[in-house]
Amino acid sequence: MNLYKITITRSASKELKKLPRKVNNQLIPLIKGLAIDPRPASSSKLRGNNQYWRIRSGNYRIIYSIDDHVQIIDIIKIGHRKDVYRD
């Protein structure tokens, strides 16, 4: 089984760095786990947009897209549930 490559947008990286250490310790293993299984049981597709997926961890969300042809996962947004869906 091949691992997916994970890329993180600059804005998602900044959002991750702003979060408390406790939250980072919850989210980083989830992000790393996407390389093995890009569609874990805890993930779901976002409504209204067929290309984005989300993983929930408490009150925080990771929004990402999957490109199966080249096996790349792009982390688009990371943040609190009240803010992460806003553009």
- pLDDT tens digit sequence for 23-54: 999 999 999 999 999 999 999 999 887 899 99
Q: In what order do the strands lie in the sheet with 60-67?
A: 5-8, 72-80, 60-67, 52-57, 43-45
- Has residue 2 got a pLDDT over 70? yes
pTM of the model: 0.92
Helix (H) or strand (E) holding 24: helix 21-33
- In whole angstroms, how far apart are CA 72 and each of 22, 25, 65? 27, 23, 8
Domain limits of the chain? Answer: 5-80
For residue 71, give both structure tokens. Answer: 């096996």
The class (CATH top level) of 5-80 is alpha beta
